[in-house]
Structure 1
Amino acid sequence: MRTKRTFLLLMALILVLPSFLVQSTSAESSNREEVPQQPGEFSSKDEVVYATLSPTGDQQEIYVVNIFDVVKAGKVDDYGPYTSLKNLTDLSEIVQKDEKVQFTAPKGKFYYQGNMKNEPLPWDISISYKLNGKRVTPDELLGQNGHVELSIATSANEEIDPTFFENYLLQVAITLDPEKFENIGAPDAMVANAGKNKQITFTVMPEKEGDLSVEADVKDFELAGMEISAVPSSMSIDAPDIGEMTGEMESLSDAIGDIHNGVGQLKQGISQLNQGVAALRDGSAQYQNGMSEINKASSELVAASGQINDGIATINNGLHDNMNQLDLGDFEDLPISLEDLAEGLNATLDGLALLRENYSSAFNNLDAAIKAIPDYEISQAQIEELSKNLSEEDRAVLGQLMETYANAAKAKETYNSVKASFAAVDARLKELDGAIAETEETLTSISNAIASFEDIDVVESISQLQSGMSEFADNYGQFHSGLVSYTNGVGQLSSSYNELHSGIEELSGGTSELENGASQLHNGTFTLYDATSNIPVEMQEEIDKLISEYDKSDFEAVSFVSPENDKINSVQFVIKTESIQKDEQDKDEAPKEEKKGFWARLKDLFF
């Protein structure tokens, strides 16, 4: 029963198939006859350029598939230096004369292929190989084991319109079999799984030369053909939202501005400190000079006082030793001696007055200079906050500033602790001045009394003189001893103050350096503020520059084949290298089935 049905079906196919083939051919001929022979129109044309390269990048074959969007059926003209043509749409003839191509196309999509010879691509592509660090050819590398390095270099072909190099993005895809390749390294590439294989994809931006590399450990080296595609980078790049980032940068810039203002105030304070210390130095210098003059005058004062003391002692001794042998004629000379003593004391008073005046002036200058040092209190937390955004050099300057600040504060504190002792010197000089004045008045009174000798009882007066002179001699001896002690103290004070003045001079030098350092720090913070204040604007400008460099949204496609072609919608390049693989005869071949004819295959459908 089954045999009968099969036979009937075969007979039906035999009868129907020729009729079907005839009808199909007639329908196609009918459609072609409907295409008018008048000029047609197309709205756009696409070109897809296919090329094959050798494993080292040498160009071998190239052809173009032209795709027309025909909006009006009829004859269409195209141009290209083709060596042969192939209609991919129907069986109609395509006519070529020189570089002009003419065909009759129905409405809709129309495809034809144009083969070219020795037409260069817009890119020069070079591929090289290394095995274990040694340059090798693809044939030498085939089937080898070791560490392989593959390098691909792309650059502009100067013989071709630069439009493609400047506006097209290259993608290079390399497929590696993980069973053969291990420890794959591909800088700047995207590595993805493609089935059981690893696909390495590189991207070369427009106007950029490519320097691509892949390395791996290989076993029995074989490599499938690399695929290189080139498409126009016509995408529009939207500017990123950097509002938050620029806001943070503005906050940073404002903070640096606050630091700059703070450093400016610090600089002003340090300048005032330096001026105060300079005034202290000048006042200290005057005080030092005054103390030096006082010290020099002290020796003369002590010597004069010693002579007075000796003279008083001589008079006193003479009155006691020669009382019985007293010659009133000699007594007449006593007022003169006493007047000489009084004059000496008077000169001493002048010296003490000058001494007191110099000391008072020096002390006042020193006191004013110390008071001029500002009483700023700078905490360690303020210093640490200030130093956060400073360079190492600026931090060193800030350290010097703080060291000088500490020394100035210490000098002021030391002075305040000894100020009472300095002030007491003036009072002591005043008391000494009063004592000498009183002594001078006493001597003058005695001299005047002796001068009026005729009006008094000589013996009684001499006795009173002897008693008063003795008491005066004792008092003056004590005064002289005190004067010697005082001048010794002045000498020690002058010597000690020389060291203090040296310290004040060093302090002045330090505050001067401090002021210079503060000026440098202020200039540095200004430079930093000036550099950061424009960062948000510069960031936006740099982003706009990068976007304009890679944004090719305004690119208008041109024909790769001929400049006479118009209405170009897109041109794409599909490039593939030859595989590096073993010949078929070197592989284990599976047994091939015998090729069957049409009737045998038709029979297999039913039996």
Structure 2
Amino acid sequence: MRRMRKSLLAFVALILFMPSHVMMAATNESKGEGAKLGEISSKDEVVYANLSATGQRQEIYVVNILDVEQAGDVVDYGEYTNIKNLTNLSPIEQNDNEVQLEAIKGKFYYQGNMNEADLPWNISITYLLDGKEMTPQEIAGKEGHVQIQIATTANDEVDQIFFQNYLLQISVPLSEEIYSNITAPNGMLANAGKNKQVTFTVMPEKEEKLVIEADAKGFELEGIDISAVPSSMAIDAPDIDEMMGDMNSLTDAISKVDQGVGELESGVTALNDGVKSMRNGSSAYKDGVQKLASSSGDLVSASKQIEQALETISHSLKNNPEDISLGDLNKLPEGLGQISAGLKETSKGLVTLKENYAKSYDALNKAIESIPEYEISEEEIQELYRSNADQKVLNQLLETYKAARTAKGTYNAVKEAFIAVDTTLKQVSDVLLEMANSLDAMASGIASSLESTDIVKSFVQLQEGISQLSSNYQAFHSGLESYTGGVKKLSNSYGKLDSGMDELSNGTGELATGVNQLHEGTSELKNSTTNLPEEMRKEVDKMISEFDKSDFEPISFVSKENKHVHAVQFVFKTESIKSEEPETVEEMEKEVTGFWNRLLELFK
């Protein structure tokens, strides 16, 4: 029995340590000389890479999966440091980058190591504890606030087709016994047993810096899994018809706003022109009224003298007719004519002032009336704010709208006063003209009387006329005093009205400038949003085209000479970070002898 066991052990040892070329020779002899060429219909490559805890490449090997349609000798390509048959014990030979093998029909697997090859992505993993960067060895077992930063960038040394068409999926397992308060702004958290699984997706052609933060108690980390597969799924265009309708409504609303602001600008411009004209007319009117008021004293004084003269003449004619000199009487018509001429000139000036005022008021009235009556509701205002239009322009629009509404309301409130000025000017002008005509009639009557041949009769008539004129002139003089008093009050009051006109003119000027700038802004907004719906559709199509890789045709990662490549995918895993106590001598000895003990157990 003991001999049998020794024989079996020797046989096992022989099998374990038999040179591989002996096995290959035996297999080659069994092939015979009638070997035939095989045929591969497709090939898959799975690229495995072991990375350090910071993302540096350590080991790369590729599992090649050949779909053999016809059994026989086939050739594959790849620059491997060594190769291994994973399907059977048939030999695999390598000559430079040419791999020769005998494959059975169906799936054939073999492994090729490429430890010096570059991966399509540069992966860098950084660890921070309470804001301080640490190596994996330093952070292992530590406690505090942890930040794990994972940066992915394109490796320019490798064909960019993989970076441009593959998406990365990065999975980080975090034990809930160690980590709490886990956050990952760009990641998705899910439960995976006792772990929290943080998953990130990096789209094709994108370089990302991904961050995980958590509070750690005794920092440890299982290996991070990173896989890369083609983003070959087709992306259907989203239904944006409703959104397009909303955008069309928005552009239509902006166009109407611009049109309304254009009409407002025209109205405000007309208003400003009318107010300017009215301002100029008001200044002329103020100057005329002030001159009239300043000359009122002289006019009243002259009238008083005429009144006293008429009283004296009347008294003298009645009581002392012998003292009357005809030469003095001859001067009276001339004096009355001069007064009449002055009153007529004043009346003429008031007529001119009335005409200018009427033109100014007409321009102002048309400008104010041209301001639209429409009202913008609070709901419509809020809808405009939600439309993402320029907030500054909207604020200017609303301020102008309110100012225009205020100007129109103020004008409507004082409109009757403006109308009354026109009527008053006409009445004053008519009274002055009537007074002048009366004085002309008096002067004409006196002159006619003086030319009469019947001196006695004429004298009697003159005496009666002068008496009546003196009596009437007293009433005229009282009316003149009241008129000049009114003119002084009008002059004093109109100064305030003219100052208001000046402020109104300045205000409408600023309003016109502001509305002009506002119209420029709304026109620019209209022009920039006219094609907004179509631009939005183009952007959606562009975004879809960027991520739709459904037409991607895979190529071999290991060699461009490989044909019929069906799929290539990448699987990476980083080293774990463990906080472990050193092994004891007994544990090390137990590990060394464990294999032989298990082998011997088979024969007991």
User: What is the alpha-carbon distance in structure 2 between the residues aligned to residue 150 and residue 581 of structure 1?
Assistant: 16
- Greater CA drift, 247-256 or 485-494: 485-494
User: What is the alpha-carbon distance in structure 1 between the residues aligned to residue 467 and residue 538 of structure 2?
Assistant: 104
User: What is the alpha-carbon distance in structure 1 between the residues aligned to residue 350 and residue 183 of structure 2?
Assistant: 88
- TM-score of the pair, normalised by structure 1: 0.83
1:555 to partner: Cα distance = 2.3
1:100 to partner: Cα distance = 1.3
Q: 1:383 to 1:305 in 2, by over 3 A?
A: farther
Correspondent of 2:199 among 198, 201, 212: 201
Q: Assess if the C-alpha contact under 8 Å between 1:182 and 1:218 holds in 2.
A: yes
Match of 1:382 in 2: 376
Match of 2:135 in 1: 137
Q: Assess if the C-alpha contact under 8 Å between 2:351 and 2:425 holds in 1.
A: no
Report 1:449-488 matches (<5 A): 449=452, 452-453=454-455, 456=456, 465-466=462-463, 468-488=465-485
Report 1:192-591 matches (<5 A): 192-295=190-293, 298-320=296-318, 322-323=320-321, 326=322, 333-334=325-326, 336-372=327-363, 373-374=365-366, 375=369, 381-382=375-376, 388=382, 389=384, 391-417=394-420, 419-449=422-452, 452-453=454-455, 456=456, 465-466=462-463, 468-582=465-579
Q: Assess if the C-alpha contact under 8 Å between 1:45 and 1:568 holds in 2.
A: yes
Correspondent of 1:106 among 104, 107, 110: 104
Summarize deviations over 1:328-369 as a string: whole Å, max 9, x none. Answer: xxx5x41x3222111111222222222212212212332343
Q: 1:305 to 1:50 in 2, by over 3 A?
A: same
5+ unaligned residues in a row in structure 2: which ranges? Answer: 1-25, 385-392
User: What is the alpha-carbon distance in structure 2 between the residues aligned to residue 527 and residue 76 of structure 1?
Assistant: 69
1:559 to partner: Cα distance = 1.6
User: What is the alpha-carbon distance in structure 1 between the residues aligned to residue 72 and residue 426 of structure 2?
Assistant: 122
Q: Assess if the C-alpha contact under 8 Å between 1:88 and 1:113 holds in 2.
A: yes
5+ unaligned residues in a row in structure 1: which ranges? Answer: 1-27, 601-607
Q: 1:43 to 1:371 in 2, by over 3 A?
A: same
Structure 1 residue identity aligned to 2:236? D
User: What is the alpha-carbon distance in structure 2 between the residues aligned to residue 443 and residue 269 of structure 1?
Assistant: 60
User: What is the alpha-carbon distance in structure 2 between the residues aligned to residue 566 and residue 217 of structure 1?
Assistant: 50
Match of 2:185 in 1: 187
Report 1:38-117 matches (<5 A): 38-117=36-115
1:577 to partner: Cα distance = 1.3
Q: 1:417 to 1:34 in 2, by over 3 A?
A: farther
Q: Assess if the C-alpha contact under 8 Å between 2:128 and 2:148 holds in 1.
A: yes
Summarize deviations over 1:211-259 as a string: whole Å, max 9, x none. Answer: 1222222223322111111112222222211111011111111122222
User: What is the alpha-carbon distance in structure 2 between the residues aligned to residue 289 and residue 175 of structure 1?
Assistant: 92
Report 1:14-53 matches (<5 A): 37-53=35-51
1:377 to partner: Cα distance = 7.7
Q: 1:242 to 1:464 in 2, by over 3 A?
A: closer
Q: Assess if the C-alpha contact under 8 Å between 2:166 and 2:230 holds in 1.
A: yes
- Greater CA drift, 585-594 or 377-386: 585-594
1:101 to partner: Cα distance = 0.9
Structure 2 residue identity aligned to 1:515? A
User: What is the alpha-carbon distance in structure 1 between the residues aligned to residue 37 and residue 108 of structure 2?
Assistant: 15
Structure 2 residue identity aligned to 1:351? G
Q: Assess if the C-alpha contact under 8 Å between 1:401 and 1:517 holds in 2.
A: no
Structure 2 residue identity aligned to 1:225? G
Q: 1:584 to 1:339 in 2, by over 3 A?
A: same
What's the RMSD between the two structures over aligned residues? 3.3
Q: Assess if the C-alpha contact under 8 Å between 2:175 and 2:196 holds in 1.
A: yes
User: What is the alpha-carbon distance in structure 2 between the residues aligned to residue 342 and residue 385 of structure 1?
Assistant: 77
Q: Assess if the C-alpha contact under 8 Å between 1:170 and 1:205 holds in 2.
A: yes
Structure 1 residue identity aligned to 2:354? F
SS state at 1:391 partner: helix
Larger gyration radius, structure 1 or structure 2:
1
Q: Assess if the C-alpha contact under 8 Å between 2:93 and 2:100 holds in 1.
A: yes
Match of 1:17 in 2: none
1:497 to partner: Cα distance = 2.4
User: What is the alpha-carbon distance in structure 1 between the residues aligned to residue 296 and residue 240 of structure 2?
Assistant: 81
Structure 2 residue identity aligned to 1:98? D
User: What is the alpha-carbon distance in structure 2 between the residues aligned to residue 561 and residue 466 of structure 1?
Assistant: 141
1:134 to partner: Cα distance = 2.7
User: What is the alpha-carbon distance in structure 1 between the residues aligned to residue 532 and residue 33 of structure 2?
Assistant: 66
SS state at 1:109 partner: strand
The share of aligned pairs that are identical, in percent, is 47
1:189 to partner: Cα distance = 0.8
SS state at 2:204 partner: coil
1:380 to partner: Cα distance = 8.5
User: What is the alpha-carbon distance in structure 1 between the residues aligned to residue 289 and residue 548 of structure 2?
Assistant: 84
User: What is the alpha-carbon distance in structure 2 between the residues aligned to residue 29 and residue 465 of structure 1?
Assistant: 167
1:113 to partner: Cα distance = 0.8
Structure 2 residue identity aligned to 1:39? L
Summarize deviations over 1:462-511 as a string: whole Å, max 9, x none. Answer: 56654554443333333233323323322332333233233223323322
- TM-score of the pair, normalised by structure 2: 0.84
Q: Assess if the C-alpha contact under 8 Å between 1:69 and 1:108 holds in 2.
A: yes
- Greater CA drift, 77-86 or 260-269: 260-269
User: What is the alpha-carbon distance in structure 1 between the residues aligned to residue 51 and residue 275 of structure 2?
Assistant: 84
Q: 1:308 to 1:120 in 2, by over 3 A?
A: same
SS state at 1:558 partner: coil
Q: Assess if the C-alpha contact under 8 Å between 2:49 and 2:57 holds in 1.
A: yes
Structure 2 residue identity aligned to 1:105? A
- Greater CA drift, 181-190 or 530-539: 530-539
User: What is the alpha-carbon distance in structure 1 between the residues aligned to residue 375 and residue 189 of structure 2?
Assistant: 52
Match of 2:126 in 1: 128
User: What is the alpha-carbon distance in structure 2 between the residues aligned to residue 82 and residue 190 of structure 1?
Assistant: 37
